[in-house]
Structure formats: C-alpha cells, structure tokens
Amino acid sequence: MTEPKTPDAAAPTAPAKKHARDGKSNATIYDIAKVAGVNPSTVSRALSKPGRVSAKTQKLIEDAAAELNYQVNPFARALPTGRTNTFGLIVADITNPTFFDIIRGAETTATVRDYTLVLAESAESAVTELTAARRMMATVDGLILASPRMDDDDIRALARDKPVVVINREVDGVPCVVPDVNKGISEAVRSLAANGHRKVAFVAGPPQSWMSARRWEGVQAACEWSRLEAVRLESSKPTVDGGRQVARDVRASGATAVLTYNDLLAIGLMQELQAAGMVVPDQISIVGFDDIFGADFTTPPLTTVRSPLGECGSGATTLLLDLLHGTGDPAGTLRVETELVLRGSSGRLLPAG
C-alpha cells in the first residue's frame, strides 16, 4: 500500500541515485512464511534442516522461496550460529607467485564446497600477520596460514579459537600441509653429483621461514650422502632482487652448483650471473624450489624442485572444511611429494677453459 509500484522503467539511463533498499529488495523467511502460510521457524527448518518438515510443507516453502527468489541473509544466520561459510587465507606475500597457486587451489576448492575465501597478506611480517589473523578470526569459520612467519605459540593460540591449517610449515598440534622436500632434494643433489659437481651452495630464505630451514637440512643431508660439500649463504629477501644481490657471495663461495630457497632467488641469481658473463649451466648449475609460474620462461629454463602448490592450497582447504564438519584428524599432517623438474639451468660442469 505504501510503496509505489513502478520502480523499474523510471529512468533507464539516468545515473542510479541511491542503491537499492527499495525495489525487489531481499525477501526474508517471514515473507516466505506468509506466502506459504506457515510459521517462519518452519521456513527456517525447511531451508536448513533436511527432513525436519514434511515433504508437503517442504515443497510449499521451496516454491514460495523460489518465487520470491529468496536468499538467506548470511549475517542474520551468522549472528546466532557463528557459522559464516567463510574462511581466511593469509599469505606471506601476494607479490610472490608461489602463493598464486596456493590461492588458486584454495579458492577453487572453497567455491566447490560453497565457501567464500577472504584474502589477506602479511608482507612477510610476523606482527602484520598476527594482526590480520586476529582480525579475520572474528569473521571466518577457519583460517589457512600459508608460510606463516609468526611464532608456533601464536599459531597454536589461534588454533585454540577456531580451526587453523598451516601450509609450508609444521606446527605441533596444528594440522599442516607440507611438501616433503627429501625426495625432490635428493633427486636434485644426485643429479648434480652425477654431473661432476663437488661443492654446492644453498641460498637460504627468510630466517623465520620454517621451510627454508627444512630445505637447508635436506640439502645438507643429501650432500652428505652424495659426499658433496655444502655451504649455506644468506639472502636479504626471497625475491628476484634478493637473488641478484646474492650473486657475488655465490661466486665467492666457489660452489659450482647452487640451490636456492625459491625460484625467485634462482631467477635473480641466474640473471645476475649471466649479466656478469657466466654461462649457465656450463660454468654453474642453478636449481630453484617450487616451480612457480614463469620458471620455464628463462633461458635456460630453470631446473627446480617442484612443490605441488595448488595441491597444498586445495589440500589445506579440504582439511579445514573437514575439520569444520567434524570429520578429519584434529592434528594430522598432510604430506605432499616434491620432485625434481630437470630443465636447462643445471647440468654437466665444463672444465674451466
């Protein structure tokens, strides 16, 4: 009675003034109840609890809902229940393509299971990360931390509040998804040994990176096994730029083969060494980690220890969703395999001409 009935053809091209609230604004369960001639609570039940109402009423309500093209109000639902059908993903650095695949894996899996993904980044900072995590906690059902930089204890504290899954790091008592580096690394080191290398450098990543530590351990172990000498070098940041900067240390080290914490470092390193006139792989072999997008664009294409990043993202999401639905091991670690992707940046060492 109070609303005029021509909200549509009013002004087709005129700039829309206000945003909705009027017009075909959202129907509520009360509207449905009225149309179907039942109580709102019955509508609620019909729409969420399967089997709680009779088939007849169910149909009645569903038809009414369809007619009004009803959509639940997620906030109204979240308020009493706490369920939001949303989860958060915090990555260390959105710039880093490593996380692209993780994000993609997570987003895809989330969408399939009818969840929404909320994204944040920590800019490689532990405190930013914790802040972002805390903020998210209020609005999500669960959280995925990809390569977190904060303390184990902080992570456990978060996990006490809501389900948390960690990628690329192992935290006691928290479900994790980690690539098992050993297979890939030993393949890589064996390949280097077979090609005549005797001294291998490892360019480490951020000091707080759990994964960097694991990779260094793996490299050490594999080198020992193959009777190679292993030295560790530090990088300023795990980026292309960081790779360029570490080039002089690499040359100074006397190593003829380098494994780097990630592909970005490897690419930067290779660029810088090539710019200085070195021939890859004739004079030096370079092996990265992760097999990110673009790793095969370089010349020579980058040999790398691939982590199935997309799988990590979707695996973590699945783990989280299972946790949320009661299924699933509260603290199981999902291990995914790594493998050597042999491309052109590693190979036989040519005798110094």
Partner DNA sequence: AGCCTTTTGTCAACCGGTTGCCATAAATTG
Partner DNA sequence: CAATTTATGGCAACCGGTTGACAAAAGGCT
Q: How many residues does the chain have?
A: 353
In DSSP terms, which residues pair with 303 in a beta bridge? 287
Contacts of residue 26, defined as CB under 8 A and 6 or more positions apart, other chains included, come to 70, 71, 73
By the rule CB under 7 A, 12 interacts with DNA: no
By the rule CB under 8 A, 347 interacts with a second copy: no
Contacted entry of DNA, a second copy, none for residue 263, CB cut-off 5 to 8 Å set by kind: none
Taking residue 113's Cβ as centre, other Cβ atoms within 10 Å add up to 16
By the rule CB under 7 A, 207 interacts with DNA: no
Contact window for DNA (CB under 7 A) among 45-53, 124-132, 226-234, 321-329: 45-53
x/- string (CB under 8 A) for a second copy, residues 67-106? ----xxxxxx-xx----x-x-------xx-x--x--xx--
Quote the CA–CA distance of 314 and 321 in Å, as a whole number: 10
x/- string (CB under 8 A) for a second copy, residues 124-163? --------x--xx-xx-------------------xxxxx
Contacted entry of DNA, a second copy, none for residue 147, CB cut-off 5 to 8 Å set by kind: none
Instruction: Give the CA count within 13 Å in the CB-facing half-sphere of 237.
Output: 10
Contacts of residue 104, defined as CB under 8 A and 6 or more positions apart, other chains included, come to 310, 313
Handedness of CA 213, 102, 327, 160 (dihedral sign): positive
Q: Contact at 8 Å (CB) between 219 and 209?
A: no
CB of residue 328 to a second copy, shortest distance in Å: 12
Instruction: Give backbone dihedrals phi and psi of 289, rounded to 5 degrees, phi first.
Output: -135, 140
Query: Is residue 254 packed enough to be buried (19+ CB in 10 Å), middle (13-18) or exposed (0-12)?
Result: exposed
Contacted entry of DNA, a second copy, none for residue 104, CB cut-off 5 to 8 Å set by kind: a second copy
Structure tokens, 316:
């973590």
Handedness of CA 122, 127, 131, 136 (dihedral sign): positive
Q: Is 282 helix (H, G, I), strand (E, B) or coil?
A: coil
- Among positions 283-342, residues that touch a second copy (CB under 8 A) are 293-294, 297-299, 330-331
By the rule CB under 8 A, 48 interacts with a second copy: no
Quote the CA–CA distance of 119 and 100 in Å, as a whole number: 12
x/- string (CB under 8 A) for a second copy, residues 185-214? ------------------------------
Name the DSSP letter for residue 162. S
By the rule CB under 7 A, 299 interacts with DNA: no
Structure tokens, 118:
């909320």
Size of the site for a second copy (CB under 8 A): 52
> Considering beta carbons, is residue 19 or 56 the nearer one to a second copy?
19
Quote the CA–CA distance of 123 and 270 in Å, as a whole number: 25
CB of residue 327 to a second copy, shortest distance in Å: 15
- Among positions 59-88, residues that touch DNA (CB under 7 A) are 70, 72-73, 76-77, 79-81
By the rule CB under 8 A, 232 interacts with a second copy: no
Contact window for DNA (CB under 7 A) among 27-35, 99-107, 237-245, 297-305: 27-35
Residues that bind DNA (CB under 7 A): 26-30, 37-42, 44-45, 47-49, 51-57, 70, 72-73, 76-77, 79-81
Binding site for a second copy (CB under 8 A): 13, 15-16, 19-20, 23, 26, 71-76, 78-79, 84, 86, 94-95, 97, 100, 103-104, 107-108, 111, 116-121, 132, 135-136, 138-139, 159-163, 172-173, 267, 293-294, 297-299, 330-331
